[in-house]
């Protein structure tokens, strides 16, 4: 349906991001097609975002270059704010790479030189792009590669830093230069670094710096790029030297200008001339997609703009850690390292405690001997010696506890909204929830949002943060406080969140937390739950709305109860269980066969109870005998195999294979 807004007829929505929506429209006054980029109405009350929107228009209005998408006007009508720009008939470079992989050298060099020409022109005008990436390069059928989306741009004369108005890092992690991660001044060399990342991606079809999470991607930028040993056919091998210079971790060692990089590429032809330029091939119509900072902190309930995106704030992830190396170590530290460190600290604690205990015993012994065998004066001296030793022991204990369990600044109780809207990118299929030290409750909902709820905490490190990448969204605390909650009962950290019905792969990671996950009735394509040093109840009270590819539970020193597992509609299940207590109840609506594998950790499985309805056809196969196995009706040991237990029910079959059988197993019916 055509919508009339002033002089423009809005024909269709052709793209959207977190802060803007792009429409195909017709300018009825001039009779031409345009693209309308609209600031989301909910952000009109946010003066910072309105200023940023106008700044983008004013910035690009200064640029007149054949390889930069031009802006025609800023249009304010009916309480709506638009940037009017040229409609590009073509896909983005990102889409083109995804469709074709690495591009032929002639096409690649043509695209690169066109983009570099536009970037060099912007730099000459004193304008930094600050969000260079393939998604912000549009492939016009007539004009070739065109640089777009200067939403994060700034003038160099404005003392431009790597931070946005809200004090957050701007850009997309795969293309952010190392010095920008450190919060240093953003210079043209940071744009050239991003251009180097784009060149690598154009030639190989892969990103130069990879990682599963923004922190891991960030750390990759502080190492030299891993260039391929061989390049695709037709690509000069000298390209490696150009990329090493463009992607240097030191800004001063990179090319001084984008034009200098282009000249280096031309030199690969042997004569310094550009003989590679070709006409771009026709491409299907696509849209100029709005760029946005990809990491958004959750907003307080008191915020007037619950959907206001702000950017990737380093302090949101690494609060109170000023030294970059400490921050990097904290981000990169894996769960296994944490467990190892905790184990080592525990052994040290026990050893020191025993030593102090022996010292106390010796002190008491000699004190008793003095009291029994010496005169009163020596008794007084001995008593003083004992008190001194006791004071020293107490001081040592206090120091030891302070080192193992650091004290955090416990402030006032804060309640903060957690709101993640339904994604507009159909490729986004993964939601990760990472929670530690507290109580987590997750419920399902049929409301039109991805995640909605609230967080209550009184330690700044426990504030919720939302991290976003192309294919996933991660909700996590800013940091962890480890075992501090075990001895400090005044620490509060509680999340109560609801998930919408968007089809997705769900990952829930908890560490030292109590979790209640009610996941029934959702559209979960796969589920991975990692429960460590914690307790959890996981309930599929309603049937999952889609067939689930796989359900996985990894547990260590955990107390976990899973209920209504048949309702998952999972084709396969995997359980990797360490020490702890685990109850697996397979009641619910069983519509298809389920293959289940249960494995144990290096320390054994702990206690496992499998509860199966008496009407279900189920088979449990053991690789070896358990330390202790109890089976109750309706389970029956197979007459042909002593390591096989069966329930002779009807309908689909649940097959359970148990590997590494150390631990205690109980088979019961229901």
What pLDDT is recorded for position 147? Answer: 92
Give the model's confidence band at 667: pLDDT under 50 very low, under 70 low, under 90 confident, else very high. very high
Alpha carbon of residue 245 to chain centroid? 30
Least confident of 228-232, 326-330, 477-481: 326-330
Q: pLDDT digits over 640-662, tens only? A: 888 899 999 989 999 999 876 56
Asked if 431 and 473 count as a contact pair (C-beta separation under 8 A), the reply is: yes
For the beta carbon of residue 410, count every other beta carbon within 10 angstroms: 15
What pLDDT is recorded for position 577? Answer: 85
262 φ, ψ (degrees, to nearest 5) = -60, -45
**Sign, Cα dihedral of 293, 297, 301, 302:** negative
What does the angle CA 184 – CA 188 – CA 190 come to, to the nearest 5 degrees? Answer: 55
Give CA–CA dist 155/59, Å, rounded.
8
What pLDDT is recorded for position 388? Answer: 47
Look up the CATH architecture of domain 3-86. Answer: 2-Layer Sandwich (3.30)
Give CA–CA dist 206/203, Å, rounded.
8
What pLDDT is recorded for position 604? Answer: 60
Mean pLDDT of 514-527: 92
Q: Is the confidence at residue 438, as pLDDT, over 50? A: yes
Q: pLDDT digits over 133-178, tens only? A: 999 999 988 889 999 887 655 544 443 334 444 344 456 789 999 9
Mean pLDDT of 577-604: 85
For the beta carbon of residue 379, count every other beta carbon within 10 angstroms: 15
Give the model's confidence band at 203: pLDDT under 50 very low, under 70 low, under 90 confident, else very high. very high
Average pLDDT, the chain: 76
Give CA–CA dist 27/86, Å, rounded.
11
What does the angle CA 561 – CA 440 – CA 472 come to, to the nearest 5 degrees? Answer: 100
Residues with Cβ < 8 Å from 562, sequence gap 6 or more?
Answer: 538, 539, 553, 582, 583, 584, 585
**Higher pLDDT among residues 273 and 511, named by residue:** 511
Q: pLDDT digits over 56-110, tens only? A: 788 788 888 999 998 888 888 878 899 898 998 888 999 999 999 999 999 999 9
What pLDDT is recorded for position 75? Answer: 87
**Higher pLDDT among residues 636 and 130, named by residue:** 636
What pLDDT is recorded for position 490? Answer: 81
Q: Is the confidence at residue 484, as pLDDT, over 70? A: no
For the beta carbon of residue 210, count every other beta carbon within 10 angstroms: 11
Q: Is the confidence at residue 192, as pLDDT, over 60? A: yes
Residues with Cβ < 8 Å from 399, sequence gap 6 or more?
Answer: none
């Amino acid at each position: 349906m055509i919508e009339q807004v002033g002089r423009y007829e809005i024909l269709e929505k052709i793209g959207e991001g977190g802060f803007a929506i792009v429409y195909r429209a017709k300018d009825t006054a001039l009779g031409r097609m345009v693209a309308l980029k609209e600031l989301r109405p909910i952000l009109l009350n946010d003066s910072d975002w309105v200023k940023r929107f106008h700044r983008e228009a004013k910035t690009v209005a200064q640029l007149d270059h054949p390889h930069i998408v031009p802006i025609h006007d800023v249009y304010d009508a009916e309480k709506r704010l638009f940037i009017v720009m040229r409609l590009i008939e073509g896909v983005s470079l990102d889409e083109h790479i995804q469709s074709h992989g690495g591009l032929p050298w002639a096409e690649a060099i043509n695209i690169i030189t066109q983009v570099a020409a536009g970037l060099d022109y912007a730099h000459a005008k004193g304008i930094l792009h600050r969000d260079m990436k393939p998604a912000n390069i549009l492939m016009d059928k007539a004009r070739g590669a065109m640089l777009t989306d200067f939403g994060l741009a700034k003038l160099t004369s404005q003392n431009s830093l790597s931070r946005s108005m809200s004090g957050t890092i701007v850009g997309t992690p795969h293309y952010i230069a190392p010095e920008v991660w450190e919060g240093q001044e953003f210079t043209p060399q940071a744009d050239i670094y991003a251009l180097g990342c784009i060149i690598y991606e154009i030639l190989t079809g892969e990103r130069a710096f990879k990682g599963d999470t923004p922190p891991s991607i960030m750390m990759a930028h502080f190492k030299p790029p891993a260039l391929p040993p061989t390049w695709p056919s037709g690509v000069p091998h000298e390209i490696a030297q150009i990329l090493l210079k463009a992607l240097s971790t030191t800004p001063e060692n990179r090319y001084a200008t984008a034009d200098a990089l282009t000249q280096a590429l031309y030199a690969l032809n042997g004569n310094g001339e550009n003989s590679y330029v070709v006409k771009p091939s026709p491409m299907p119509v696509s849209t100029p997609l709005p760029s946005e900072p990809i990491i958004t902190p959750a907003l307080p309930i008191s915020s007037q703009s619950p959907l206001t995106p702000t950017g990737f704030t380093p302090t949101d992830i690494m609060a109170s850690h000023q030294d970059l190396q400490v921050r990097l170590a904290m981000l990169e530290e894996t769960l296994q390292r944490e467990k190892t460190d905790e184990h080592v600290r525990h052994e040290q604690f026990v050893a020191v405690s025993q030593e102090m205990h022996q010292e106390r015993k010796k002190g008491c012994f000699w004190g008793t001997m003095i009291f029994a065998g010496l005169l009163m004066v020596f008794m007084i001296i001995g008593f003083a010696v004992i008190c001194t030793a006791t004071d020293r022991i107490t001081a040592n204990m206090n120091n030891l506890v302070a080192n193992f369990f650091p004290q955090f600044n416990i402030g006032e109780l804060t309640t903060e909204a957690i709101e993640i809207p339904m994604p507009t990118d159909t490729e986004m299929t993964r939601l990760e929830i990472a929670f530690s030290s507290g109580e987590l409750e997750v419920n399902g909902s049929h409301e039109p949002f991805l995640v909605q709820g609230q967080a209550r905490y009184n330690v700044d490190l426990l504030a919720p943060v939302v991290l976003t990448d192309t294919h996933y969204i991660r909700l996590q605390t800013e940091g962890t406080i480890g075992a501090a909650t075990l001895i400090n009962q005044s620490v509060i950290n509680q999340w109560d969140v609801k998930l919408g019905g968007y089809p997705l792969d769900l990952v829930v990671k908890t560490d030292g937390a109590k979790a209640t996950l009610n996941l029934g009735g959702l559209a979960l394509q796969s589920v991975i739950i990692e429960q460590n040093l914690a307790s959890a109840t996981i309930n599929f009270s309603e049937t999952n709305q889609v067939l689930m590819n796989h359900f996985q539970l990894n547990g260590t020193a955990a107390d976990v109860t899973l209920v209504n597992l048949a309702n998952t509609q999972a084709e396969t299940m995997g359980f990797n269980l360490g020490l702890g207590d685990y109850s697996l109840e397979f009641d619910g609506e069983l519509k298809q066969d389920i293959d289940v594998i249960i494995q144990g950790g290096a320390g054994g499985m702990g206690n496992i109870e499998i509860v199966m309805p008496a009407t279900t056809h189920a088979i449990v196969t053991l690789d070896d005998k358990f330390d202790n196995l109890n089976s109750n009706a309706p389970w029956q040991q197979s007459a042909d195999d002593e390591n096989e237990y069966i329930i002779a029910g009807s309908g689909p079959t649940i097959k359970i294979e148990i590997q590494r059988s150390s631990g205690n197993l109980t088979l019961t019916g229901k």
